[in-house]
Structure 1
């Protein structure tokens, strides 16, 4: 992460990592195999932090749709704020990478499962409909995040909008 933070994602390679870490090149190649593998591992680390934060928040949440929607929305946008500039740089460096595409599909799938589990008590939808709704909600969150990241709306407005969409999308 330090290499990406200081020099940008383009400067990160298995060789620069080996030099920075003070290990031999074969160590980094044995561990990550490819530059894409290294970038995917970094991105996964960031994603794992977000997923764990959301799980922890949902574990202690009261059983109420509005509160659950707020927690989910805050976790989503706080994650983006807390990831720092490294996450978009890593993601951009992996665009077009099949490894990253697979990783992103897996991460989205995991997040959709978490959303469905958290929201199922508050809806009359069958699981297939709830899953499709969660997919749509996640797409909306990504669009709202772009607006927020480009400075067109404040984070508080983004959080409120996504929370409202969640509550309206699944509420009885």
Structure 2
């Protein structure tokens, strides 16, 4: 097994373990044992538990972004009307959050608990998604950034309501869309 394939297997196993037992229960020794490897091999690939947690956070975050960007690229290619593309953005983000949001939050919290600065761990998601929002609603960068911050916060809370069965997933998507479709009152 090549080093790259082994590292991928370790990372996938770590993500599965974190989903099952929480990121706080992870150790490189437990990971190595779960993969039938020696502890030094796990350390060789990630250096430290913090290195493993960083790789996990990057993987889950990249999956979110890649999914959202792929959906938006598809809508650009087909020339979908902005409202249809906006619905796709909202639906994709909600789906990703429902599937992996708790894992991402847990891994990030474990990173902060391990001593990583919160500003580094959490970054600025709004800055990453802002260009998509600006494109969809034809807004200046500052307005698009503010709406993206509102979108991300609202999406997280709406997903919590969906998980608690207080709202349906489609309802959450519709509410998110309304954030962008409110009439301009300036």
* TM-score in terms of structure 1 length: 0.78
- In structure 2, do the counterparts of structure 1 residues 21 and 155 end up closer, same or farther at CA, with 3 Å as the change threshold? same
What is the alpha-carbon root mean square deviation over aligned residues?
A: 2.6
* Residues 37 and 99, structure 1, Cα contact 8 Å, conserved in 2: no
Partner residue of 1:13? Answer: 27
The total of aligned residue pairs comes to 166
| Segments ≥4 residues shifted beyond 4 Å | none
The answer to whether the 8 Å contact 2:129/2:148 transfers is: no
1:64 aligns with 2:72: no
Query: 1:92 offset after TM fit, Å?
Result: 4.1
Match of 1:131 among 145, 163, 166: 145
| TM-score where L is the length of structure 2 | 0.73
Query: Could you say which structure has the greater relative contact order, defined with CA pairs below 8 angstroms and 6 or more residues apart?
Result: 1
Measure, in 1, the Cα distance between the counterparts of 2:84 and 2:50: 38
For 1:146 and 1:7, locate their aligned partners in 2 and report how far apart those are by CA, in whole Å: 20
Which of 97, 109, 114 is the matching residue for 2:127?
109
Q: How many Å separate the matches in 2 of 1:31 and 1:3? A: 17
Give the drift of 1:100. Answer: 5.7
In structure 1, runs of 5+ residues without a counterpart are none
1:147 has 2:164 as partner? no
1:163 aligns with 2:177: yes
